[in-house]
Amino acid sequence: MLKILKNLKKSFWSVVVIIILLVVQAQADLRLPDFTSRIVNIGIQSGGIENAVPEIISKEDMDNILIFSNEGEKILENYSLIGNNVSKEQQKIIDDYLGKDYEIENDTIYVLNNIDNEKEEELSEIFSEPLMEYSVITNEQTESEIKNELMSKVPEAQKQVIEDMSVLEILKTMPEEQRNTMLSEFTKQVDNMESSIKEQAGVAEVKNLYSNLGVDTDKLQNNYILFQGLQMLGVALISMISAITIMLLSARVAAKLGKTLREKVFKKVLSFSTGELNEFSTASLITRSTNDIQQIQMLIAILFRVVVYAPIIGIGGFTKVLTTSDSSMAWIIGVAILAVLFIVLTLFIVAMPKFKKLQELTDKLNLVSREILSGMQVIRAFNKEKKEEKRFEKANNNLMKTNVFVNRTMSMMMPLLMFVMNSIMILIIWAGGHNVDQGIMQVGDMMAFIQYTMQIVMAFLMISMISIMLPRASVSAKRINEVLETEPSIKDKPERELKKFDENKKGLVEFKNVSFRYPDADTEILEDINFTAKPGETTAIIGSTGSGKSTIVNLLPRFYDVTGGELLIDGVNVKDVSQKDLRDIIGFVPQKGLLFSGTIESNIKYSDDNMDDEKMYEAARIAQATEFIETKEKKYKDPISQGGGNVSGGQRQRISIARALAKDPEIFVFDDSFSALDLKTDATLREALSEKTHDKTVIIVAQRISTILNADQIIVLEEGKVVGKGTHDELMKNSETYRQIALSQLSEEELNGKGGN
């Protein structure tokens, strides 16, 4: 898989941008639970007041609160008593809380100085306890109970004095030592409370202090919620824009990788010899170029979100839980992760072997489909439709069963994971509810914890989703690498070692003790082949089926390499020249006339798109194709379907011959290329061909004796060996094999008559 990913270097900067945006999105997503927590805890529950430090407070309230604190000096050093001189920062605080029209009386209001967050947190801890005590003392019910207790402990004379006084007024009149003694029991109970409870009570009292001063607390709360909500919306917008951009770039990177892989596979396949093509099979190569690359492309489209985004979310969420939430519930996240991993790994182990088999079965189905569609005429001719239907159905069913098994197995994943997620959410609410009840955490913190946990679980869900695609993509990557890493058995030597053709031996073809065997074959197909084909002459090759005729001509353009002896063209061993240079001087007409989709013109001009029309017309005339081309509605512009399916076999052969003639090479090779022509057209074509090729080397493989009667040299093959060589007349006298082939097709009188011409 890593070898495939190396092809992403063309999209390097896009990948860098994707990674940066993923980090941005992850950070944005990790901030959203904080906003939820603040909106609930501070905005809703605390009325928009963030901590137990009042930013503005009346002098009277400050004096009252300091009665309950031993750190009065530390508190007051962080406040300024407003007099005649008001700084801009102090005026802004007054305007924000009391309005711009508020008239301040000197020495009646304290304003918080500009302090850092650390100092503010420290001050909040100091303030929480006296604020809570002040809140309790000033509560009507509590005040009544405390006053009754005090009345019971003082003489009758003093009762009349303090009867109309509030508890706070009573405390002010007491000596400090007596007051501290009286409050010691009360403050002891407050000290034992959780700090979060004291802070919440302190925040609630700050709200009362603001109300006492005339602050619009409803507006304060609404402004806080609105501000936090807008910030949350902005962060969510950043996350959304990042996500959309990431998906667009990921799709582009994946598509570009798919394009690069298809180009590399196709280019590699073009370099394959016939041996490699037979090894992989056409159906398998098509599957690897399409379906396998599509699997890789789909994986890459979401891979970055898993490789980059999921770890950031998972680790970041866990860190946030430990640092900003109640870490006592962190064990719940551990349970969730273990449950998710157990489900994913179990399903992965069960389904993995089937993923590997899927691509093999897809290959098999493609192979069967291609064979059936290609051989439709034969199938119908033998009434074997039912048999082929069963063969296709078997391959189709095997693929279907494997797909069903994989899909059923993997379809269990989402319900199971959703069950885990919902169960975890219930567990959080249950444990968090107890903590909220005990004052250990607030509701907003519990909601944030739920969000962080879901983010962590979703990160593992994303990893589990990639686990569905990864095995299949991994198999596909391996299959693609098999093609890319296969070295062609036929390749050019290094450029510095390549030779040029000898101009003095132009068109000369020499077989010197040539032998050939197919890869992994036990016996040689050709053995000790010796003959020379000269320019201006026609060399014909004839023999029984399987004697090696087509194999000999396939050696000329190096579709295969000789395994013994030497094959020389233009005086140079074909292995010592580049394949391009070699094939440039050969006009090859294969046994099966293959045409490409396009027009008659594009097929004849296949060797050169810029070929002159006159050259095309001449090639068509010599190939005897003009007659049927002129009857077409659009003539040379008439369309040709894939493989030439809309023209007859004879017409295909004539267009194929015209294609080779238009190339005007040094050497013409006709591999049984006249078999679909009638005798009259065959004779006319050969006569016209002799004029065109009077200075060219012509090599013809033929089954019909009439095609090669007038050849300058006839090579007779039997079981891969040359058993006769010479002209028609010479072979009729000297070669029993040739004589038997000739007499099986024509009478002796016809042969003698033809041979004499």
Same domain, 291 and 364: yes
In a domain, 388, yes or no: no
Mean pLDDT of the chain: 82
Please state the φ and ψ torsions of residue 178, each to the nearest 5 degrees: -65, -40
The predicted pLDDT at position 183 comes to 67
* Pairwise CA distance, residues 262 & 7, whole Å: 11
**Helix count (H) and strand count (E) of the chain?**
32, 15
Residue 273 neighbours by CB under 8 Å, 6+ apart: 488, 489, 490, 558, 559, 560, 561
Same domain, 603 and 575: no
Domain count, the chain: 4
Percentage of the chain exceeding pLDDT 90: 5
- 670 bridge partner residues: 589, 700
In a domain, 350, yes or no: yes
Same domain, 597 and 568: no
Same domain, 7 and 145: no
* Pairwise CA distance, residues 383 & 35, whole Å: 74
β-strands 538-543, 713-718: how paired?
parallel
Show the tokens assigned to 426: 């219930």
Please state the φ and ψ torsions of residue 516, each to the nearest 5 degrees: -155, 140
In a domain, 100, yes or no: yes
* Pairwise CA distance, residues 743 & 63, whole Å: 134
The predicted pLDDT at position 238 comes to 94
Residue 718 neighbours by CB under 8 Å, 6+ apart: 543, 544, 547, 737
Show the tokens assigned to 600: 């008659």
What tens digit of pLDDT does each residue of 558-610 get? 888 888 889 999 889 988 888 888 888 888 888 777 888 888 888 888 888 88
The last residue of a domain, from among 642, 664, 686: 664
Contact 586, 665 (CB under 8 A): yes
Please state the φ and ψ torsions of residue 744, each to the nearest 5 degrees: -75, -15
* Pairwise CA distance, residues 549 & 553, whole Å: 7
In a domain, 234, yes or no: no
Q: Is 637 exposed, middle or buried (0-12, 13-18, 19+ CB in 10 A)?
A: exposed
Same domain, 533 and 429: no
Same domain, 656 and 675: no
HSE, side-chain direction, 13 A CA sphere, residue 267: 8
We report the CATH number of the domain holding residue 648 as 3.40.50.300
Show the tokens assigned to 52: 């137990």
* Pairwise CA distance, residues 454 & 499, whole Å: 69
The predicted pLDDT at position 757 comes to 39
Q: Three-state DSSP class for 659?
A: helix
Q: Residue 309 has what DSSP assignment?
A: I
In a domain, 493, yes or no: no
We report the CATH number of the domain holding residue 463 as 1.20.1560.10
* Pairwise CA distance, residues 727 & 547, whole Å: 20
Q: Three-state DSSP class for 747?
A: coil
The predicted pLDDT at position 31 comes to 87
What tens digit of pLDDT does each residue of 512-535 get? 999 988 877 778 888 888 999 988
In a domain, 239, yes or no: no
Same domain, 181 and 209: yes
Percentages (nearest 5) of helix, strand, coil residues in the chain: 65, 10, 25
pTM, two decimal places: 0.70
Angle, CA of 20, 22 and 24, to the nearest 5°: 70
Same domain, 640 and 742: no
Residue type, 78: N
* Pairwise CA distance, residues 555 & 667, whole Å: 13
Show the tokens assigned to 184: 């010691």
DSSP 321-346: HHHHS-GGGHHHHHHHHHHHHHHHHH
Same domain, 215 and 256: no
* Pairwise CA distance, residues 346 & 338, whole Å: 12
Same domain, 682 and 650: no
In a domain, 316, yes or no: yes
β-strands 721-726, 509-516: how paired?
unpaired
The predicted pLDDT at position 755 comes to 43
Contact 296, 258 (CB under 8 A): yes
Same domain, 581 and 672: yes
Identify the domain containing residue 293 by its residue range: 2-24+249-368+407-485
Rounded to whole angstroms, what are the CA distances from 192 to 124, 185, 314, 441, 460?
17, 11, 37, 17, 42
The predicted pLDDT at position 235 comes to 94
Residue 642 neighbours by CB under 8 Å, 6+ apart: 596, 597
The predicted pLDDT at position 454 comes to 81
Which stretches of 242-379 are assigned E, i.e. beta strand? none
Sign of CA dihedral 495, 499, 500, 506: negative
CA 453 from centre of chain: 28
Residues of the chain with pLDDT below 50 are: 755-757
Q: Kindly report the number of other CB atoms within 10 A of residue 65's CB atom.
A: 22
Range 256-269 burial, b when 16+ CB lie within 10 A, else e: bbbebbbebbeebb
* Pairwise CA distance, residues 667 & 661, whole Å: 10
Q: Is 349 exposed, middle or buried (0-12, 13-18, 19+ CB in 10 A)?
A: exposed
In a domain, 382, yes or no: no
* Pairwise CA distance, residues 525 & 518, whole Å: 7
* Pairwise CA distance, residues 540 & 698, whole Å: 8
Same domain, 42 and 132: yes
CA 107 from centre of chain: 69
